[in-house]
Amino acid sequence: MRCSNLEVAGLFLTDFVTIVIMPTPRAKCSPMTTASADSTKIQSVDMHVVRISSAGAQERLDCLAIEEPLEIQVEFSEGESRRSKSVSITMRTPGHDEELAAGFLFTEGILRSPNDVVEVAGWGPKTGAGQAQNTVKVCLAPHASVNWPKLERHFYSTSSCGVCGKASLDALEVPGLQPLDRSGFEIAAAEICALQELVRAHQSVFDQTGGLHGAALFTASGELLEVREDVGRHNAVDKLLGAQFILGHTPLANRLLFLSGRASFELVQKAIVAGIPMIVAVGAPSSLAVELAKRFDVTLVGFVRDGRFNIYHGEWRVASIESMANMFEHVRGAQ
């Protein structure tokens, strides 16, 4: 039995007063058919708007990020038969949908190994601005089991928050997590300052719309490995980590997770599940995110901008801090 693929479409308002008239897809793209996913999904649409400024009212086209619901289903064995069950609906941007589904189930503790999965694919009619499918089915191997009572949290996540649908705070933490090894990963302070520029150079849809979050994986030498974008922060991370899970590369003990926005509890937890020892965010972490980082010995860095950053926990993984400080002193002295 073949499983499913998925789609997206959604709109992200600009800072201006907008009058939506007619969506126009940016490009015609073929649907994604394999777990490796494509990056050619239609991810933005042109819409007519009225821009209000000091020059008055002007009609123009604006490019908006697509947002549409994605249903994630799990197909599993029950005795001699196979059953399918819906486990989540999330609002997402098209592209890398199979990775999103696999990453979501992995970081929620539902999947433990790529061997648990036979296939991840999309199905259903093509709808919306992206003309894509809106359901992904993850087909489990016969030996794989799911603790359905624990899963009965009826996940519902929006593009802004991935934990809102969970029934209680007790249900938030993925069971079985352990503190990460303090040794084995270290990155120079100067490399941390360079990460944002490297990621921005690969955020093509953000350049068009200004409406997507980015997540990226780096090595300890500052080499950029992968970038994923989505209207939802947690979706971008699920796509990124889902790709690594499908390839069998987890745990990611020698990798750094970069976030284009803030660092929330949920995103820190996803990194811990994937075995990532360090998170660098352009924005601020939440208090709960810092508490979680301290509990599991994750290095958490925030407010990376203009050659500066804050380390909220795990400074032992940041090397050459003194040389960076000396460099700033040299620059100031020369001014």
Q: Is residue 152 a part of any domain in this protein? A: no
- Measure the CA–CA gap between 335 and 81, rounded to whole angstroms: 74
- Measure the CA–CA gap between 83 and 68, rounded to whole angstroms: 26
pTM for the structure as a whole:
0.80
Mean pLDDT within 163-186: 73
Mean pLDDT within 319-324: 79
Q: Is residue 195 a part of any domain in this protein? A: yes
What's the residue count for the chain? 335
Q: Is residue 208 a part of any domain in this protein? A: yes
305 against 4, higher pLDDT: 305
Nearest to 144 by CA among 54, 48, 74: 74
Q: Is residue 31 a part of any domain in this protein? A: no
Residue 161 appears among annotated catalytic residues: yes
Q: What pLDDT sits at residue 25?
A: 41
Q: Is residue 219 a part of any domain in this protein? A: yes
Mean pLDDT within 236-243: 98
Domain total in the chain: 1
- Measure the CA–CA gap between 71 and 89, rounded to whole angstroms: 4
Q: What pLDDT sits at residue 324?
A: 65
Would you place residue 156 in the very low, low, confident or very high pLDDT band (cuts 50, 70, 90)?
very low
Determine the 3-state secondary structure of 329 from DSSP. helix
**95 contacts: CB under 8 Å, gap ≥ 6:** 8, 32, 37, 38, 39, 40, 41, 43, 229, 239
pLDDT digits (tens, 9 = 90+) for 71-115: 999 999 988 899 999 998 999 998 899 999 999 999 988 899 999
Q: Is residue 166 a part of any domain in this protein? A: no
Instruction: Report whether pLDDT(1) > 60.
Output: no
Which of these is catalytic: 29, 161, 164, 193? 161
97-107 vs 233-246: helix axis angle to the nearest 10? 90
CATH code assigned at 321: 3.40.140.10
Q: What percent of the chain has pLDDT over 70?
A: 74
Q: Is residue 221 a part of any domain in this protein? A: yes
269 against 129, higher pLDDT: 269
Q: Is residue 291 a part of any domain in this protein? A: yes
Provide the domain limits for residue 226. 187-327
